[in-house]
Amino acid sequence: MTAANPLWQNARDPIQLRPDEVHVWRVDLDADSDALRRSCETVSADEQARSEQFYSLQDRDRYIIARGSLRAILARYLGTPPRDLRFLSNAHGKPALEPDSSPADLRFNVSHSHQLALLAFAQCREVGIDVEYVLPYRADAHMAARFFAPQEVAALRALPETARTEAFFRCWTRKEAYVKARGQGLSLPLNSFTVSLAPCPTIDLLTIGGDSPQAARWSLRALAPGEGYIAAVAAEGKDWSLILWQGT
């Protein structure tokens, strides 16, 4: 799947999520048949039906493993059988656990690209995550002009051409992670706020429509989930530490 990285740890029970932590899990979506079977046994009928909307069998299997992995990890935190977990969505489609399923006010977010899924978890704070498989043809100037803020477009153009692809995806994942954390969907345009394109692990939101206090409420972390991938996680506050897990 991805190159070995000592920052990503194998989790052992019991596993606890503290209020001052954000946990990110890395999951291989091209796992063996046993992982697929376990996921099929735990996902709901609705999730099974949604998987059938994918054209290819590989994409259907990856979706099922992502959903099964989400349930398996939530079950480890909550001590609840994976199949018993129930979900709801807000008006913009952001998923959450039904209140009676999450006594600890556990929040989560999921992103998957190619053969990799990242799942973020936090307690009593909103969280969002995005991972992208780097495809150079997607990092074109027209996409940047359409979705990025003018300051970001200018910063991208100022870079050497050889550095623009990775900078494009750094910008994209940071913006998507923040939008997903806010849970407002398309009502929060990507070009309404700016982020740094710099290759640094901790990123501040530069502006949110000129609203500096709103920007100060959130923080971002860059992630290196594996060769060929770029990712970021966003969460409320600046008083949290990041812990990276792999597997389920």
Residue 55, CA distances (Å) to 63, 114, 133, 177, 206 in order: 12, 14, 19, 26, 39
- In this prediction, residue 1 carries a pLDDT of 41
DSSP 227: T
pLDDT in tens, 173-192: 999 999 999 998 878 899 99
pLDDT in tens, 194-243: 999 998 888 777 777 766 677 788 999 999 999 999 999 999 999 999 99
- In this prediction, residue 84 carries a pLDDT of 92
Question: Does 155 score more than 90 pLDDT?
Answer: yes
Residue 64, CA distances (Å) to 70, 89, 222 in order: 10, 19, 27
215 versus 158: which is more confidently predicted? 158
Question: CB-based contacts of 245: which residues, under 8 Å, 6+ apart?
Answer: 8, 9, 10, 11, 15, 23, 24, 25, 26
pLDDT in tens, 27-50: 999 977 888 999 999 999 999 999
pTM above 0.95, yes or no: no
Q: Which residues of 80-90 are buried (b: 16+ CB within 10 A; e: fewer)?
A: bebeebebeee
Separation between Cα atoms, residue 194 and residue 166, nearest integer Å: 17
Which domains occur in the chain, in start order?
9-130+238-246 (3.90.470.20), 135-218 (3.90.470)
- In this prediction, residue 71 carries a pLDDT of 96
